[in-house]
Amino acid sequence: MSAKYDDAFLLSTVKDAYSSIAQSGATPEYATTVAQAFGYTVEQLQSVPIESHMGLGCGNPTVTATLKPGETVLDLGSGGGIDIFLAAEKVGPTGTAIGLDMSADMVKKARANAAKRGYFPPSVCFVECSLTDTLPIKSNSIDCVLSNCVINLLPPSGKTHIFGEIYRVLKPGGRVVLDDILAKEELPPHIRDDMKQYVSCIGGAVEVHEYDSLLTAAGFNDSVFVDNRADLNIYLTAATSGAPTPSCCAPSAVSADAKDVDLNHWAASYQIYARKPDTGGAPVAETPLERWWDAFPTERATNIKRLSPPELEAILRNGADVAVIDVRGSDRSGGHVKGSHVRPAQTFHTQLASFHAQFANARLVVFYCGSSRGRGPRCAGWYQDFLDAQALRAPEVRVLDGGMHAWLKAYSADAELTEGFPGEGETGSVQGV
């Protein structure tokens, strides 16, 4: 890309364009025509929500990724989620499929699509993340990285950065399968400097030798480039009926003069394969996400009122209608507030409807974790958001100030208030770890 635009402007423009696509969608006719042109079968398209593919790809990386049950796969620029859903079918319930996208609107759309298919974290996750930042993924945690027509949208520094990040997150011996649009020759200024061409995946395309150099610099050896022999003009011809929203190479995304340009003259769709050397000895991360809560919406209710341990004690002794919720997972050592209902934070958001059905008639719902600085307030915020979305004023939501640490400090010796002491087991209403 020409120095005419800085990286921040390029990223902002791309984000705005694809957020608009997420909000408006594409016509099913256009999306299906483009998807089939780049290798998706009718059976594959029927197995995923129609809103998960919007004519934004330039290949089908899941076909050749040789994904296996139990593997962890990462999709860079996951859009509406189509490649993650196809990958999830291959890695199965013992595997993990994670999609990253810079657009909050795309992530929201993908999560809604996932819910339609019964996919939820931690097995299937969609996380908002700019690919020019450090990925929220642990090192040596991914078996296979996919991407479909996204890396060409990154500015030059972003392309260099993302290949380094791909190398970092892959397990030793892990593989890369990327579909991307590459330039056949050096692009002239009238294409390279046209922001509409850039957003439409053409202006930011680099040549094969440049792409290969970026992979090599990141540590990948013997990369393989395969020309998909696809007709890029399908983006234009498919748009003649149905008028889709702006998408990769679609006419509404490019300048008026570009509508008559033969896209195949300047660029081609490639599938790129690479593998991280298996040098051995590197520790492999058990879980891929740096922060499990990134897979869920950020809670909007952040000022939940707190109850001190003495205040909760008085409520419990008076027999008030209160539900006390322990959101800790496997770290419930030392006991818990007597009568607590255990709802681990990592799965709480996906169970909000059933949780409310159980506790809707309680006057007060009090959440806590170890210190009530992270999981407790987060789950309380999610529940308050759920209530607010339905204009419900009850139950009242509170957080136990100081969490279990403060409670045990005050009441560890009181069997009427605390149960599950070390060595005695835990007798609360445990619903999972």
What confidence tens digit (pLDDT) does each residue in 288-310 have? 999 999 999 999 999 999 999 99
- pLDDT for the residue 3: 58
- Percent of the chain residues topping a pLDDT of 70: 91
pLDDT at 422 over 50: no
Hey, how many other C-beta atoms are within 10 angstroms of the C-beta on 258? Answer: 20
Average pLDDT over residues 391-402: 96
- Mapping DSSP to helix (H, G, I), strand (E, B) and coil, where does residue 275 land? strand
Average pLDDT over residues 245-254: 46
- pLDDT for the residue 130: 96
Average pLDDT over residues 55-65: 94
The residues with which 367 forms a beta bridge, in sequence order, are 325, 399
Which tens digits make up the pLDDT trace of 72-93?
999 999 999 999 999 999 999 9
Question: Largest Cα–Cα distance of the chain, in whole Å?
Answer: 80
Categorize the per-residue pLDDT at 12 as very low, low, confident or very high, splitting at 50, 70 and 90. confident
Categorize the per-residue pLDDT at 430 as very low, low, confident or very high, splitting at 50, 70 and 90. very low
pLDDT at 256 over 50: no
pLDDT at 252 over 90: no
pLDDT at 277 over 50: yes
Average pLDDT over residues 254-262: 54
Which carries the bigger pLDDT value, residue 427 or residue 88?
Answer: 88
**How do strand 96-101 and strand 72-76 relate by DSSP bridges?**
parallel
- pLDDT for the residue 248: 55
- pLDDT for the residue 187: 87
Q: What is the dihedral of CA 198, 199, 204, 205, to 10 degrees?
A: -110
Which tens digits make up the pLDDT trace of 315-362?
999 988 999 999 998 776 778 999 999 999 999 999 999 999 999 999
Which domains does the chain possess? 7-295 (3.40.50.150), 306-430 (3.40.250.10)
Q: How far apart are CA 425 and CA 201, in angstroms?
A: 59
Q: Are 181 and 202 in contact (CB under 8 A)?
A: yes
The whole-angstrom distance between residue 251's C-alpha and the CA centroid of its chain comes to 29
Whether residue 310 is preceded by a cis peptide bond, meaning omega within 30 degrees of 0, is no
Which carries the bigger pLDDT value, residue 262 or residue 300?
Answer: 300
Categorize the per-residue pLDDT at 2 as very low, low, confident or very high, splitting at 50, 70 and 90. low
Ranking 110-124, 249-263, 342-356, 374-388 by mean pLDDT, the lowest is 249-263
- pLDDT for the residue 253: 42
In this prediction the pTM is: 0.90
pLDDT at 261 over 80: no
Mean pLDDT for all residues in the chain:
89
pLDDT at 254 over 90: no
List the structure tokens of 122. 């931690």
- pLDDT for the residue 431: 36
pLDDT at 143 over 50: yes
Instruction: Encode burial over 415-426: b for 16+ CB neighbours within 10 A, e otherwise.
Output: eebbbbeeeeeb
Average pLDDT over residues 21-45: 92
